[in-house]
Amino acid sequence: MKIDNSMPDRLYQFVLRHGLWVEGALLVVMFTIWLALRPSLLQQAPALSAHVISLRQDLTAIEEEKSRLQQFTLVRPDRVQWLTRDMHLHLRQLKKGVRQVGLADVSQTLTMLQARLEDLFGTFNSALREHAIVVDSYYTLPILGEQCELDLRKHSAIPATLHPHDIYTALLLLPLRKDLSAEKIRAVMPSIDKAKAALPSDSEACSRFISHAQTFLHHFSQLRHQMDTLNLDAARQLIIRLDTQLQHHIAQAQYHQHLVTITLGGLGGVMAFFILFMLILLNRTVKRLRAQKRELIHTSRLYRALSDINEVIVSEQDERQLLEQALTILVNDLQIPAGVITCCPDENNVLTTVAIHAQQPLAHQLLEQIRFDITPDTGNATATMLPAWKEGEIRALRNIDTHPRLARWRPLLQRFQIQHVITVPLVDGNGNSRYLLTLYLSTDEYAGPATLQLLREVREDLELALHRLHLLEKQRQQAAQLRLAEVAFNAHEGIVIASEEGRIERANETLLKWCGLDLNHMADETLPALFVEQSVIQHVMQELPHSGYWQGELSLRHVDGTPIPALTTLTWVPPSQETDRTGHYIAHCLNLSRQRQLEHELRSIQQRDPITGLPNHKALIDQLNTIMEQIMPRGECGIISIINIRGFKSINTALGHQGGDALLRQLAERLRERPAFPHLTARSSNDEFLLVPIHFFSSQDAARQWWERKYAEVLGMLSEPYDINGQPVQVEYYASAMLFDHDLPAERIVDEIETGIQLARQHGQGVTQLYFHTPGASASSRPDREITLRHQLEQALDKGELLLFHQPIYNTMERRYSLTEALIRWKREDTLVSPGEFIPVMERYPQLMTRVGRWVLRQGVADAARINRDHARPVSVSINLSAVQFNDSELIHILRDSLARHALPPDRLTLEITESALMTDLGRTRALLAALRELGVHVAIDDFGTGYASLQYLQLFQPDKLKLDKSFIDPIDPQDRRTLAIPEATVAMAHALGAKVVAEGVETAEQAAALSAIGCELLQGYHFARPMPLDELLDFLKRTETQ
Amino acid sequence: MKIANLIDLFRILGLLLLSLSTGCEQASTHQTLSERMAASHSRFNAFMRELTEASDQPVQPLPETVPFDKAAAKLGRALFFSPKLSANGTVSCATCHIIQQGGDDNRPVSIGIHGQKGELNAPTVLNSGFNFAQFWDGRAATLEDQALQPLINPKEMGNRSVQAVADRLNADPQWLRKFIQTFGEPASPQAIAYAIAEYERTLITPGSRFDRYLLGDRDALTPQERRGWELFRSYGCISCHQGINLGGSMFQKAGIYRPLSAHEGRWLGRYNVTHRDADRQVFKVPTLRNVADTAPYFHDGSVPTLEKAVTLMIEAQLGKQPHSQDVADIIAFLKTLSAPPKDLLHEN
Interval A33-59: pLDDT, tens: 777 766 667 777 788 888 888 888 888
Of the candidates B16, B49, B243, which has its C-beta nearest A29's C-beta? Answer: B16
Q: Is the pLDDT of residue A319 over 50?
A: yes
Both ends of chain A: CA-CA distance in Å? 135
Sort out which chain A residues have CB atoms less than 8 A from B252's CB and list them: 129, 132-133
Q: Which pLDDT tens digit goes with each residue over B165-199?
A: 889 989 999 999 989 988 888 888 999 999 999 99
Task: Burial-class residue A639 by CB neighbours within 10 Å (0-12, 13-18, 19+).
Answer: buried
User: What pLDDT does B28 receive?
Assistant: 43
Of the residues A80, A82, A229, the best mutation for testing chain B's interface (the one with the most B CB atoms within 10 Å of its CB) is A82
User: What pLDDT does B24 receive?
Assistant: 45
User: What pLDDT does B289 receive?
Assistant: 92
User: What pLDDT does B20 receive?
Assistant: 52
Q: Is the pLDDT of residue A820 over 90?
A: yes
Decide if A82 touches B, using CB distance below 8 A: yes
Provide Rg for chain A, Cα atoms.
80
Q: Which pLDDT tens digit goes with each residue over B297-341?
A: 888 888 888 898 999 888 888 888 888 899 999 999 999 999 998
Alpha-carbon separation of residue A439 from A342, A420, A426, A731, A735 (angstroms): 11, 8, 13, 83, 92
Decide if A212 touches B, using CB distance below 8 A: yes
Amino acid at A330: L
Give chain A's mean pLDDT: 82
Alpha-carbon separation of residue A590 from A417, A573, A718, B236 (angstroms): 74, 19, 50, 180
Q: Helices A835-844 and A846-870 sit at what angle, rounded to 10 degrees? A: 130
Element (H, E) at A436: strand A433-441
Of the candidates B12, B253, B256, which has its C-beta nearest A28's C-beta? Answer: B12
Q: Which pLDDT tens digit goes with each residue over A849-869?
A: 888 888 899 999 999 999 999
Task: Burial-class residue B194 by CB neighbours within 10 Å (0-12, 13-18, 19+).
Answer: buried
| Residue (of A297, A299, A330) closest to A313 by Cα position | A330
Note the helical H segments in A155-203: 164-173, 182-198
Overall average pLDDT of the A555-572 stretch: 84
Amino acid at A473: E
In whole angstroms, what is the distance from residue A912 CA to residue A881 CA? Answer: 6
Decide if A139 touches B, using CB distance below 8 A: yes
Of the candidates B1, B45, B319, which has its C-beta nearest A212's C-beta? Answer: B319
User: What pLDDT does B334 receive?
Assistant: 92
Question: Does residue A462 or residue A202 have the better pLDDT?
Answer: A462
Tell me the β-bridge partners of A124.
none
Overall average pLDDT of the A207-224 stretch: 82
Overall average pLDDT of the A583-603 stretch: 81
Q: Which pLDDT tens digit goes with each residue over A902-934?
A: 989 999 999 998 887 887 777 888 888 889 988
Window from A487-491, B167-171, B248-252, B287-291 with minimum mean pLDDT? A487-491
- A633 DSSP assignment: P
Q: Helix, strand, coil: what percent of chain B each, to 5? A: 55, 5, 45
| Residue (of A998, A911, A995) closest to A956 by Cα position | A995
Coil/strand/helix, residue B113: helix
| Residue (of A811, A730, A830, A738) closest to A776 by Cα position | A738
| Residue (of A438, A412, A413, A410) closest to A424 by Cα position | A438
Q: Is the pLDDT of residue A784 over 70?
A: no
Amino acid at A836: G
Q: Which pLDDT tens digit goes with each residue over B73-91?
A: 999 999 999 888 888 888 8
In whole angstroms, what is the distance from residue A806 CA to residue A273 CA? Answer: 146
- B348 DSSP assignment: -
Q: Are A457 and A306 in contact (CB under 8 A)?
A: yes
Sort out which chain A residues have CB atoms less than 8 A from B19's CB and list them: 32
CB spacing of A129 vs B251 below 8 angstroms: yes
User: What pLDDT does A817 receive?
Assistant: 92
Q: Is the pLDDT of residue B18 over 60?
A: no
Q: Are A656 and A612 in contact (CB under 8 A)?
A: no
Taking one residue from A and the other from B, the number of pairs with CB-CB distance under 8 angstroms is: 120
| Residue (of A847, A851, A849, A875) closest to A861 by Cα position | A875
Binned at pLDDT 50, 70 and 90, residue B49 comes out as confident
Q: Which pLDDT tens digit goes with each residue over A115-167?
A: 888 888 888 888 888 888 888 888 888 888 888 777 777 766 656 666 777 77
Q: Helices B189-201 and B29-54 sit at what angle, rounded to 10 degrees? A: 30
Alpha-carbon separation of residue A359 from A328, A335, A454, B205 (angstroms): 9, 8, 20, 100
- What residues contact A495, with CB distance under 8 A and at least 6 apart? A489, A506, A507, A508, A510, A511, A586, A587, A588, A589
What share of chain A has pLDDT > 90, as a percent? 10
Q: Which pLDDT tens digit goes with each residue over A455-472?
A: 888 898 888 888 888 888
| Distance between B52 CA and the closest CA of chain A, angstroms | 6
Closest chain A CA to residue B9: A21
Coil/strand/helix, residue A984: helix
Of the residues A28, A123, A125, A147, the best mutation for testing chain B's interface (the one with the most B CB atoms within 10 Å of its CB) is A125
User: What pLDDT does A767 receive?
Assistant: 38
Binned at pLDDT 50, 70 and 90, residue A520 comes out as confident
- How many Cα atoms occupy the beta-carbon half-sphere of A287 within 13 Å? 6
Q: Are A107 and A96 in contact (CB under 8 A)?
A: no
CB spacing of A128 vs B251 below 8 angstroms: yes
User: What pLDDT does B30 receive?
Assistant: 45
| Distance between B53 CA and the closest CA of chain A, angstroms | 7
Q: Are B208 and B289 in contact (CB under 8 A)?
A: yes
- How many Cα atoms occupy the beta-carbon half-sphere of A323 within 13 Å? 23
Q: Is the pLDDT of residue A340 over 60?
A: yes
Q: Are A741 and A775 in contact (CB under 8 A)?
A: yes
In whole angstroms, what is the distance from residue A749 CA to residue A731 CA? Answer: 26
User: What pLDDT does B197 receive?
Assistant: 92
User: What pLDDT does B9 receive?
Assistant: 59
In whole angstroms, what is the distance from residue A286 CA to residue A272 CA? Answer: 20
Element (H, E) at A296: helix A232-315
Q: Which pLDDT tens digit goes with each residue over A749-763?
A: 888 788 777 766 766
User: What pLDDT does A126 receive?
Assistant: 84
Task: Burial-class residue B203 by CB neighbours within 10 Å (0-12, 13-18, 19+).
Answer: buried
Q: ipTM score of the complex?
A: 0.85
Question: Does residue A9 or residue A929 have the better pLDDT?
Answer: A929
User: What pLDDT does A374 receive?
Assistant: 85
Q: Is the pLDDT of residue A775 over 60?
A: no
Decide if A28 touches B, using CB distance below 8 A: yes
* CB atoms inside a 10 Å sphere around CB A1023: 15
Q: Are A505 and A584 in contact (CB under 8 A)?
A: yes
- What residues contact A208, with CB distance under 8 A and at least 6 apart? A144, A147, A148, B319, B320, B321
CB spacing of A78 vs B49 below 8 angstroms: no
In whole angstroms, what is the distance from residue A773 CA to residue A770 CA? Answer: 10
* CB atoms inside a 10 Å sphere around CB A679: 19
| Distance between B220 CA and the closest CA of chain A, angstroms | 25
Decide if A85 touches B, using CB distance below 8 A: yes
Sort out which chain B residues have CB atoms less than 8 A from A93's CB and list them: 38
Q: Which pLDDT tens digit goes with each residue over A982-1021?
A: 888 888 888 888 899 999 989 989 889 999 998 999 999 9
Binned at pLDDT 50, 70 and 90, residue A1031 comes out as very high
In whole angstroms, what is the distance from residue A997 CA to residue A1019 CA? Answer: 8
Provide Rg for chain B, Cα atoms.
24
Cis peptide, bond prior to residue B296, ω within 30 of zero: yes
Binned at pLDDT 50, 70 and 90, residue B1 comes out as very low
Q: Are B195 and B180 in contact (CB under 8 A)?
A: no
Overall average pLDDT of the A483-502 stretch: 79
Residue A397 has φ and ψ, to the nearest 5°, of: -135, 125
Q: Is the pLDDT of residue B25 over 50?
A: no
Sort out which chain B residues have CB atoms less than 8 A from A74's CB and list them: 58, 242
| Distance between B126 CA and the closest CA of chain A, angstroms | 17
Tell me the β-bridge partners of A131.
none
In whole angstroms, what is the distance from residue A752 CA to residue A760 CA? Answer: 12
Q: Is the pLDDT of residue A621 over 80?
A: yes
Name the region of B255 (left: φ>0; alpha: ψ -120 to 50; beta: rest): left
Residue A1015 has φ and ψ, to the nearest 5°, of: 100, 10
In whole angstroms, what is the distance from residue A345 CA to residue A426 CA? Answer: 14
Overall average pLDDT of the A15-29 stretch: 71
User: What pLDDT does A162 receive?
Assistant: 63
- What residues contact A720, with CB distance under 8 A and at least 6 apart? none
Q: Are B141 and B160 in contact (CB under 8 A)?
A: no
Of the residues B8, B144, B239, the best mutation for testing chain A's interface (the one with the most A CB atoms within 10 Å of its CB) is B239
| Distance between B298 CA and the closest CA of chain A, angstroms | 18
Q: Is the pLDDT of residue A168 over 70?
A: yes
Q: Is the pLDDT of residue A365 over 60?
A: yes
Question: Does residue A786 or residue B149 have the better pLDDT?
Answer: B149
Neighbour-count burial for A716-742, b at 16+ CB within 10 Å, e otherwise: eebeeebebeeeebebebbbbbbbbbe
List the catalytic residues of B.
156
Task: Burial-class residue A195 by CB neighbours within 10 Å (0-12, 13-18, 19+).
Answer: buried
